[in-house]
Amino acid sequence: MIAGVKKAMRRRGVPAVFLMVLVMAMPLGAAEPDVADGAAAEPDVAAAGPDMEALLGSHGRFSSPTDDTLALEFLFSLTGQRQYDLLRGYDGKGYDQTDSDPSGLGYEPVSRPLRGQRSVQSVYESTEAILDYRSRHFNLFVDWALIGDRRYDPSEPYMRDRYFYIRDAHVEVDHRPFTLKMGRTTQQDVVDTPYSLFVNSNPIPALQMETSYKGDFFFYTSRWVGLNRSSDKTYFGSEPGVSPFGVYNDDNPQFVPGTGARYDQVYPDGVPWADRGANFKVYGLNLEQGWRFGLQEGAVYTNSFFNPEFFLSPMPMYFTQIIMDGGNKPWGEFANSKHVMGFFLDRTTPDGYFAAQILVDDINGSSIPGIDVDFQNRLAWSLGGYRQFDFGQVGLYYAGATKYAFSATSTPGDDVYDALEVGQYSGADETPLYYSRRPYPFTYFPAVEYPVDGGRRMPIDYRQNYLGYTHGENNMAIKIDYTNTFFRGQPRETGVYASMEWVLNGAKSPANPWHEEYTYKDISDSTHFLRDDLEHQLLFRARVERPVTILGTPFTVFVDGELGLIFNAMRLEAPFDDDDPRRWIWGDEDGNFGSEFHGGANDGIKLIDRNRAEPWIYRPQMGTNEVIYYLTVGITYRWQMK
């Protein structure tokens, strides 16, 4: 039961500092990942039915080739919460065409305001259903829910502000030592900590395919994750009337490459999110005395949903891209990807677990003789584990990341924004985002917000968006937790989990490359770590659950809550202050851009408001303190059909 409580807490561990609390707690007894030998994680469901370990026999996990189990599980919960809004209304500026100029159409500044955030429900209910089938070589798992927190719009009018949500739906072919897993499911890092670096420890479902081999000495995993495909969402600030590419004249018609049409004709509502995908690899060794050591890497690519070579080839993806995209070669292909690499070391013993991880996004090599680069040191690190004592299991974890690690980056050209000259349409890869010619957000979604009904906006909690470390860049976090099962083996068996976490956060920019700077060359120092205004979070969480019998039928009831004290609470805000001269791109009434119009010279006007055209940034608000909480009570029933 200890494993079940710990996994249920982590699975439902939605960050308390943000709005989108989705508390759909799972019952106790979930199968624990076999970290010691790298076995694939079982689905996060209760073990109220037959003991799976009892099925072990001469044929492997099951006593015969035909043994299988089938269970249905149902959950209902009620949640009360207090959160605070991350997005406020904003009086942004844009431009509009006018026919006041006798020589033809011209441009004039107009108001392009943004509405604030739609608040979530203070009290809401969730209903969840799970189908769990397992056999010797094939597993099928479906977990979906009907949720009323107003985080997303309802799919149908009759749902009355509720929406369906797929938490997990996958199949697994298990023929040890080889496994194949496919479906819309959640990821898991090779290390068992809440501060894993390469995979976000929060359960974020996405379409995936994973192959793995787990031998006695060597183990290998290759995973593809689909991010965006044929998206109906558009990049923030890319619509005509806001984006500089919506401005045109006879000398600069702003044709989209390959179309022969103007930008505003091809993208009248804004530029759809480009297709994106990600791949992750693990190369590991099982050493003596429970030690493991290995290499990890991740890649995110744009304008492609699936990269077969990254998934199928055992070659490290960083070198694959260099070989495929470097120089004139007959096998060359266009590549556009962001890579992170690192190492892990962990040890499993009968009474505990320890893990260490390091991730390198980029590194400044100027201290090495003969190397002259001015990149930022973009690093992350994690250390921690847990130990079993007579009074329960205690865990202690620490992690951190420098600024710009996990954030959006770019490789802008000198012809797009330097000297405030936009010039001919030159958005890389036919994605016209003038602030980033090659946008590389290491996130599930290339945005920090999305529109909802009524013209309002909803923020995307960065802890539910980062592909890697849950707290993201510019962060340090320490967490201690306690897990135990009381009255083990008795009808009143009770699982308990409690944690306390201290988090320091500086500014974060998951979608706007280099924060408010245009390029990394504009950043003065190579290493930035907690040098901004800081948000302090103190988070306390607890969960208790136990079986009960109602009218002769066994159920599991639980209470799950969190209290957060947030100092200098983070909010999303526009990149530039109102009086920052970098806020504006100047031009003239004919739609010409150039430094000669800056400051109103030569009858220049403020044609482009970058605060309205660039993604916003998470920043601490000094002196703004918040108390947030949620409390969930729920009940589950598991029907073990076979």
pLDDT, tens only, 485-512: 999 989 899 999 999 999 999 999 999 8
Domain membership flag for residue 27:
no
Domain membership flag for residue 278:
yes
Structure token pair of residue 321: 């891209």
Give me the domain span that covers residue 316. 1-10+51-95+109-233+273-416+433-575+616-641
Q: What confidence score (pLDDT) does residue 26 get?
A: 35
Q: Torsions phi, psi of 455, nearest 5?
A: 75, 10
Q: How many domains does the chain have?
A: 1
Domain membership flag for residue 171:
yes
Instruction: Report how far residue 227's alpha carbon sits from residue 224's, in angstroms, rounded to the nearest whole number.
Output: 10
Give the DSSP H/E element, type plus range, for residue 586: strand 584-587
Mean pLDDT, the chain, as a whole number? 83
Name the least confident of 389-398, 453-462, 539-548: 453-462
pLDDT band for position 36 (50/70/90)?
very low
Residue of 585, 558, 361 whose CA lies nearest to 473:
361
- Beta bridge partners, 542, equal 498, 561
Burial class (CB in 10 A: 0-12, 13-18, 19+), 372: exposed
- Beta bridge partners, 608, equal 585
Which tens digits make up the pLDDT trace of 519-562?
Answer: 777 788 788 899 989 999 999 999 999 999 999 999 999 999 99
> What's the rounded mean pLDDT across residues 156-172?
91
Residues 6+ apart with CB under 8 A from 276: 227, 228, 300, 301, 302, 303, 304, 305, 446
> What's the rounded mean pLDDT across residues 66-90?
92
Q: What confidence score (pLDDT) does residue 123 get?
A: 96
Q: What confidence score (pLDDT) does residue 54 get?
A: 34
Which tens digits make up the pLDDT trace of 339-365?
Answer: 899 999 999 999 999 999 999 987 766
> What's the rounded mean pLDDT across residues 50-57?
33
Q: What confidence score (pLDDT) does residue 585 get?
A: 85
The answer to whether residue 251 scores a pLDDT higher than 90 is no
Domain membership flag for residue 133:
yes
Measured between alpha carbons, how far is residue 216 from residues 31, 177, 285, 290 in Å? Answer: 22, 9, 9, 12
Q: What confidence score (pLDDT) does residue 369 get?
A: 61
Structure token pair of residue 379: 């690093």
Burial 72-103 (b: 16+ CB within 10 A, else e): ebebebebebebbebbeebebbbbebeeeeee
Domain membership flag for residue 19:
no
Domain membership flag for residue 422:
no
Residue of 268, 5, 243 whose CA lies nearest to 112:
243
Contact (Cβ atoms closer than 8 angstroms) between residue 491 and residue 547: yes
Q: What confidence score (pLDDT) does residue 514 get?
A: 84
More confident residue, 189 or 255: 189
Which tens digits make up the pLDDT trace of 199-235?
Answer: 999 999 999 999 999 999 999 999 999 999 999 998 8
Which tens digits make up the pLDDT trace of 365-391?
Answer: 665 665 555 677 889 999 999 999 999
Q: What confidence score (pLDDT) does residue 391 get?
A: 95
The rounded radius of gyration (Å) of the Cα atoms in the chain is: 26
Q: What confidence score (pLDDT) does residue 1 get?
A: 54
Q: What confidence score (pLDDT) does residue 106 get?
A: 81
Residue of 276, 182, 185, 186 whose CA lies nearest to 229:
276
The answer to whether residue 47 scores a pLDDT higher than 60 is no
CA 372 to chain CA centroid, Å, is: 33
Domain membership flag for residue 554:
yes
Contact (Cβ atoms closer than 8 angstroms) between residue 41 and residue 189: no
Q: What confidence score (pLDDT) does residue 366 get?
A: 60
Instruction: Report how far residue 493's alpha carbon sits from residue 489's, in angstroms, rounded to the nearest whole number.
Output: 6
**123-132, 255-264, 406-415: which has the highest mean pLDDT?**
123-132
Check which CATH number belongs to the domain holding 483 and give it. 2.40.160.10
Domain membership flag for residue 90:
yes
Q: What confidence score (pLDDT) does residue 326 get?
A: 62
More confident residue, 344 or 325: 344
